[in-house]
């Protein structure tokens, strides 16, 4: 299949790597060459680690990378796509604009999917009334190549056929799937994850414990593979702030971001990607 991934950031580059590894011809799109260079570099780095561990043969890694073409034009890269996966920043208007263009130039039977963490699929689809039945949420987890789950989210207008195609596509990538049948803010996963992580940020802000001990408590006591604060840094604190602001608007005060989180983002301390977030990453 031909798959176009729009947005070459933390998630888009990982999704492109995942679908190229599954053998699909992949187009990765972003607004500029610098973003595409970074997206490609992160795929290369990830493949290098798989090769070093013996999980992927060197020649396969080269083939995977060759299957990923990059470009800055949505119109050109969706022209022959079977599936379009949008993974741009978590801002409704930006996503809607991307889908207006994608729906205009993609084939009339292409599956349109958004990797939004919590925005309404129905609200995104309202920007493309003629194609809204072909739009679903396809919510990957970070990093997409390793995480086992894909959450499929049905918008009000999503057709049963498209929901079925999305579930089958997720399974074909070797993932488990869950279906969020009712399009509601935060779906099944982001809603619960945001609350736990926010409570950890509140404890940090109140001085209840150090970041290290809050993370250790969740990892050792509750078997989280990564502490919630580490996870915030890993996923990007700016993305997390967008998610909380949006959930606060739809679900109320219990999702209100902390002052510390706002300060970190204002200071450009976005987590691993900037070398500094709740923790510091000298290697970045
Ligand atoms: N980070 C995570 O852990 C995570 C997990 C699941 C889902 N998501 C969702 O995935 C999406 C992307 O998140 P991310 O963490 O990769 O963000 P990111 O900031 O790392 O990357 C976003 C990319 O989108 C690009 N972009 C912005 N506007 C664009 C446009 N009009 N056309 C093409 N590219 C454009 C940016 O240049 C950037 O490279 C968001 O909707 C987010 O909620 C994120």
Q: Which of 180, 213, 238 is the last residue of a domain?
A: 180
Which mutation among 12, 89, 238 tests ligand 1's pocket best, with the greatest number of atoms within 8 A of CB?
89
Domain count, the chain: 2
Residue 245 lies in a domain: yes
Q: Which of 147, 180, 213 is the last residue of a domain?
A: 180
- The rounded percent of the chain whose pLDDT value lies above 70 is 100
Which of 219-223, 262-266, 280-284 bottoms out in mean pLDDT, i.e. has the lowest? 280-284
Band of pLDDT at residue 283, cut at 50, 70 and 90? confident
Distance 12 CA to ligand 1 centre (A): 7
Which mutation among 7, 37, 226 tests ligand 1's pocket best, with the greatest number of atoms within 8 A of CB?
7
> How far apart, in whole angstroms, are the C-alpha atoms of residue 273 and residue 235?
9
At 197, which CATH number? Answer: 1.10.1040.10
Residue 283 lies in a domain: no
Residues 131 and 168 in one domain: yes
The pLDDT tens digits for 152-178 are 999 999 999 999 999 999 999 999 999
Residue 252 lies in a domain: yes
Residues 22 and 115 in one domain: yes
Token digits of residue 226: 């990564």
The pLDDT tens digits for 58-70 are 999 999 999 999 9
| Element spanning 243, H or E | helix 237-251
Residues 96 and 131 in one domain: yes
Q: What ranges make up the beta strands (E) of 49-185? A: 68-71, 83-86, 111-114, 135-139, 149-154, 176-180
pTM of the prediction?
0.91
Which mutation among 12, 88, 99, 270 tests ligand 1's pocket best, with the greatest number of atoms within 8 A of CB?
88
Q: Which residues pair with 28 in a beta bridge?
A: 5, 70
Residues 166 and 84 in one domain: yes
Residue 280 lies in a domain: no
Residues 205 and 262 in one domain: yes
Residues 60 and 153 in one domain: yes
Residue 281 lies in a domain: no
Residues 167 and 98 in one domain: yes
- Using CB distances shorter than 6 Å, the residues near ligand 1 are 6-12, 29-31, 35, 87-90, 94, 98, 115-117, 140-142, 235-236, 239
At 60, which CATH number? Answer: 3.40.50.720
Distance 89 CA to ligand 1 centre (A): 4
Structural domain containing residue 91: 2-180
- Can you give the pLDDT at residue 284? 62
């Amino acid at each position: 299949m031909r798959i176009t991934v729009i947005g070459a950031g933390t998630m888009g580059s990982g999704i492109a790597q995942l679908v190229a590894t599954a053998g699909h011809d992949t187009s990765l799109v972003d607004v500029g060459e610098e973003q595409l260079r970074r997206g490609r570099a992160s795929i290369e780095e990830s493949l290098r680690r798989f090769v070093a561990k013996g999980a992927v043969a060197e020649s396969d890694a080269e083939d995977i990378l060759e299957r990923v073409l990059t470009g800055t034009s949505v119109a050109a890269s969706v022209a022959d796509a079977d599936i379009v996966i949008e993974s741009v920043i978590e801002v409704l208007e930006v996503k809607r604009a991307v889908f207006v263009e994608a729906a205009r130039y993609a084939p009339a039977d292409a599956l349109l999917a958004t990797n939004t963490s919590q925005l309404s699929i129905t609200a995104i689809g309202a920007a493309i009334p003629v194609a809204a039945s072909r739009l679903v949420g396809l919510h990957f987890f970070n990093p997409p190549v390793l995480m086992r789950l894909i959450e499929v989210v049905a918008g009000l207008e999503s057709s049963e056929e498209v929901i079925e195609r999305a579930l089958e596509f997720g399974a074909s990538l070797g993932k488990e799937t869950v279906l969020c049948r009712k399009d509601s803010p935060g779906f099944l996963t982001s809603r619960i994850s945001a609350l736990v992580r926010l409570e950890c940020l509140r404890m940090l802000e109140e001085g209840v414990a150090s970041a290290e001990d809050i993370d250790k408590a969740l990892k050792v006591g509750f078997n989280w593979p990564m502490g919630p604060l580490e996870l915030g840094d890993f996923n990007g604190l700016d993305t997390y702030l967008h998610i909380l602001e949006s959930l606060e608007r739809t679900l109320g005060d219990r999702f209100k971001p902390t002052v510390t989180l706002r300060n970190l983002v204002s200071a450009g301390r976005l987590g691993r990607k900037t070398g500094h977030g709740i923790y510091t990453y000298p290697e970045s």
